């Protein structure tokens, strides 16, 4: 209670930062959730996500610092690929990959996580790849 009071006095609206529970927050699922770390690498590249936050063999949704549109990241070992997360069918944001498949929750189109190609409609085109690379442990635009 004291913590909440102090936070409320020091930071208006900051009560949420001081909960009494110890349950971790976030979306720590096997395939990851959303990631918006921001910032830049020592080399000045805008950070899309920390490599450590992208589940190996899965992926997550992250913001593209170039245009703030969501990207779906797919990690295989130390390699990360990124696609525009907008479904080519009607633009719904796709879900992070599971078992090598990216699925659109709206009408069920599926895409191959390895190359973005459509594997089941109604989408008739694949996901658009966005060039990224890993630099200093961070996923950044290539």
Q: Which residues bind ligand FES (CB under 6 A)?
A: 87, 89-90, 92, 104, 106-107, 109, 122-123
For the CB of residue 128, give the shortest distance to ligand FES in the complex, in Å.
14
DSSP 40: B
For the CB of residue 93, give the shortest distance to ligand FES in the complex, in Å.
9
For the CB of residue 92, give the shortest distance to ligand FES in the complex, in Å.
4
Structure tokens of 26? Answer: 């976030």
Nearest to ligand FES of 37, 122 (CB atom): 122
Number of H helices, E strands in the chain: 1, 10
DSSP 43: T
Nearest to ligand FES of 57, 122 (CB atom): 122
- Whether residue 89 contacts residue 109, with contact meaning beta carbons closer than 8 Å, is answered with yes
* Torsion region of 30: left, alpha or beta (phi above 0 gives left; psi -120 to 50 gives alpha): alpha
Nearest to ligand FES of 47, 87 (CB atom): 87
- Cα gap 44→11, rounded to integer Å: 31
Nearest to ligand FES of 28, 105 (CB atom): 105
For the CB of residue 65, give the shortest distance to ligand FES in the complex, in Å.
24
């Amino acid at each position: 209670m004291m913590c909440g009071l102090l936070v409320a006095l020091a930071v208006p609206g900051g009560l949420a930062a001081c909960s009494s529970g110890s349950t971790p927050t976030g979306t720590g699922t096997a395939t990851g959730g959303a990631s918006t770390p921001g910032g830049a690498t020592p080399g000045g590249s805008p950070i899309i996500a920390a490599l450590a936050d992208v589940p190996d063999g899965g992926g997550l949704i992250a913001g593209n610092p170039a245009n703030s549109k969501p990207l779906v990241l797919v990690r295989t070992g130390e390699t990360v690929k990124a696609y525009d997360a907008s479904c080519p069918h009607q633009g719904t944001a796709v879900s992070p990959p599971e078992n090598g498949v990216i699925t659109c929750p709206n009408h069920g189109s599926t895409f191959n996580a390895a190359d973005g190609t459509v594997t089941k409609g109604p989408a008739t085109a694949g996901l658009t790849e966005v060039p990224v690379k890993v630099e200093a442990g961070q996923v950044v635009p290539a």
